[in-house]
Amino acid sequence: MKVGTVCYATDQGLGHLAKSFYDAGVITDVLIWRHPFYPNHMEWYPPGTGVLDSRPFRGPAVEDFLRNVEVVLFFETPFDWDFLRVCRHRGIRTVIVPMYEWYPRNPPEKPDKFICPSLLDVQYFPGSPFLTVPVDPTTWKPRMRSLRFLHNAGHIGHRNHKGTEELIKALPLLRPEIKLMIRSQTERIYSLLKNAFHPGLEVHVGDCRRERLFGGYDVYVAPEKFNGLSLPLQEAYASGMLVMGSDRFPMNTWLPRVPLIPVSCSHRANIGGHNFFDEAELNPAVIAGHMNEWYDQDITEFSVAGAAWAIEHSWEVMKPAWLEELSR
């Protein structure tokens, strides 16, 4: 089966998500949608891969792509909504893996199918199949004690959805012996840090090689607010870390619940013309108290549980299910 996609080739979630499906052999054909701000890694895909710079999607590269695929798999967005109609007229099926918080309330076109990457997405697209995005179990390494904490802020994101600001506000309340690394791909992190200080705090600004994102740390701290799929949480858990996310649906359905940070409350929110959602509120004092409580604890059982989860949700196990859904 020939499966195409239109995707970013950038060091961000959507870029790595598409690349993982290509590397696993689920996606066979790619059109790169050039990102206007972030570096584009054209080397991720074979020489001659089509590159799109403008909408609507037209031209020889698009025609070659459409002649070669049976189904097109999009992650979050087709970038050009009219492209769904073009595919339909060519007899090519379209599938979107939605991020419910970024899906338009009134989309100009609709795909033939959704495949939901989280149980929360299923609530927004009822009747659609739920398939976990596969992980790589070979990244796993045992963690014994919770000594070194890590927060990857990435590009910070809309509405501070990773809880970076709340974590920074928690710094003065942390035990002085805690070691915490905050990584960011943008210098915007400095405006959040301002005069924040903790003796065990390290800050790294810039890209980090993906295979090194979780190495050398024991606890992944992510007081996230509203996402359904979270690749960093999945990857951290699969790597053997204790995952200290937010105690909210759907994370508390697949992660060990005891280490999750209690949520104070939630409120309705949305991003532009996209779906409304429940946005969690997290108290910096609660975050700090939770980190203090878990410092220097035996986390071996959680690390071992992550290894088992990674094997169960590996590409070897999950790839056939993805191919089956794409063929329907």
Q: How confident is the model at residue 105 (pLDDT cuts 50, 70, 90)?
A: very high
Question: pTM (2 decimals)?
Answer: 0.96
Question: Which pair of tokens denotes residue 165?
Answer: 């600001």
Q: What are the distances in angstroms from CA 231 to CA 28, 61, 109, 161, 215?
A: 22, 30, 27, 14, 16
Q: Does the CA dihedral 28-34-35-41 come out positive or negative?
A: positive
Residue 150 CA neighbour count, 13 Å, CB half: 21
d(CA 141, CA 303): 8
Q: Coil, strand, or helix at residue 293?
A: helix
Q: Is the pLDDT of residue 188 over 80?
A: yes
pLDDT average, residue stretch 133-143: 97
Give the pLDDT confidence of 295-324 residue by residue, as tens digits.
Answer: 999 999 999 999 999 999 999 999 999 999
Q: Is 321 exposed, middle or buried (CB count within 10 Å of its CB: 0-12, 13-18, 19+)?
A: middle
Q: Is the pLDDT of residue 209 over 90?
A: no
Nearest-CA neighbor of 221 among 250, 201, 245? 245
Work out the number of other CB atoms within 10 angstroms of the CB of residue 123: 13
How confident is the model at residue 211, as a pLDDT?
72
Phi then psi dihedrals of residue 250, to 5 deg: -100, 5
Strand partners, 148: 179
Q: How confident is the model at residue 137 (pLDDT cuts 50, 70, 90)?
A: very high
Distance from the Cα of residue 212 to its chain's centroid: 16
How confident is the model at residue 108, as a pLDDT?
95
pLDDT average, residue stretch 163-176: 97
**First and final C-alpha spacing in the chain:** 11
Q: Coil, strand, or helix at residue 15?
A: helix
Work out the number of other CB atoms within 10 angstroms of the CB of residue 43: 9
Q: Answer whether 120's CB lies under 8 Å from 250's CB.
A: yes
Fold of 3-131: Rossmann fold (3.40.50)
Which CATH number is associated with domain 137-312?
Answer: 3.40.50.2000
Q: Do domains 3-131 and 137-312 have the same CATH topology?
A: yes
Give me the residue label for tokens 């090689």: 209
Question: Which pair of tokens denotes residue 223?
Answer: 């007081």
User: Which secondary structure element, helix H or strand E, spans residue 180, and what is its range?
Assistant: strand 179-184
* DSSP label at residue 10: S
Domain coordinates in residue numbering, the chain: 3-131, 137-312
Q: What is the mean pLDDT of the chain?
A: 96
Q: Does the CA dihedral 253-256-258-260 come out positive or negative?
A: negative
Question: Which pair of tokens denotes residue 168?
Answer: 């920074």
Give the pLDDT confidence of 213-255 residue by residue, as tens digits.
Answer: 899 999 999 999 999 999 999 999 999 999 999 999 999 999 9
Q: Answer whether 20's CB lies under 8 Å from 132's CB.
A: no
Work out the number of other CB atoms within 10 angstroms of the CB of residue 66: 20
